[in-house]
A and B are shown apart, each in its own frame.
Chain A
Amino acid sequence: DAGVTQSPTHLIKTRGQQVTLRCSPKSGHDTVSWYQQALGQGPQFIFQYYEEEERQRGNFPDRFSGHQFPNYSSELNVNALLLGDSALYLCASRWGADTQYFGPGTRLTVL
């Protein structure tokens, strides 16, 4: 049983560009959340998707958007990249109110 998978592993972009990160949840999980982890910090909640809708959102600007597909996989899109968007982006999935399982993350570097 595959756990949460994310792609790509690493990504380098320049300021102003746009990026799309992908996440496949653990089998049987229907809720996907995205977190941003800056170097030396704990992860910060970006948003959560359930039934293809954004259910909750953290304190992130509208440049951060997402999508959930019928197979529960999800994308995180970031527009107009800033240097400060450089971070490890983590996807987590769960079923119901159960434990959240995290993927390995995508390391985004903005130059």
Chain B
Amino acid sequence: SQQGEEDPQALSIQEGENATMNCSYKTSINNLQWYRQNSGRGLVHLILIRSNEREKHSGRLRVTLDTSKKSSSLLITASRAADTASYFCATDAAGGGNKLTFGTGTQLKVEL
């Protein structure tokens, strides 16, 4: 079953704009990870945020985590056409043995 749900399901923006995706989940977690997937290929790991962290940055990516609301957000700043992909959040549940439970994904399209 899907643990998380991403919002929105699809997002279309212009190059240079910022893109924000949200993820909600249901159980206590060890960490939450964001992945990118291009055209049904393999998943590329973007960033991992641990349950005791509130914000993390990596290049143009900014991730926040609110464990009280069981939610996370991914912000991509100054988007590029190459950022067009599906983005998934995945939770590593507390006591879950490091298996990942994925959300349904956000399809991001960045137009020139």
A residues sitting closer than 8 Å to B (CB atoms) are 4, 31, 33, 35, 39, 41-45, 48, 55-56, 58-59, 88, 90, 92, 94, 97, 99-105, 107
Contact = CB atoms under 8 A, between A and B. Distances in A.
A99 B48 contact: yes
Given A42-B4, A101-B45, A102-B42, 8 more contacts: A41-B2, A41-B105, A44-B2, A45-B99, A92-B43, A99-B45, A99-B48, A100-B98
Contacts of A97: 30, 98
Contact of A48 (B33, B45, B97): B97
Query: Which bracket fits the contact residues of B?
Result: 20 to 34
A2 to B, nearest CB: 13
B42 A56 contact: no
A96 B45 CA distance: 17
B60 interface: no
Nearest to A42: B102
Interface string B1-40: 1101000000000000000000000000010010100001
Interface of B: 1-2, 4, 30, 33, 35, 40-45, 48, 88, 90, 97-105
B11 to A, nearest CB: 16
A28 to B, nearest CB: 16
A28 B14 CA distance: 41
B27 to A, nearest CB: 14
Nearest to B97: A56
A41 to B, nearest CB: 7
B91 to A, nearest CB: 11
Contacts of B104: 41-42
A99 B44 CA distance: 11
Contacts of A107: 40
Contacts of B102: 35, 42-44
Contact of A90 (B42, B48, B105): B42
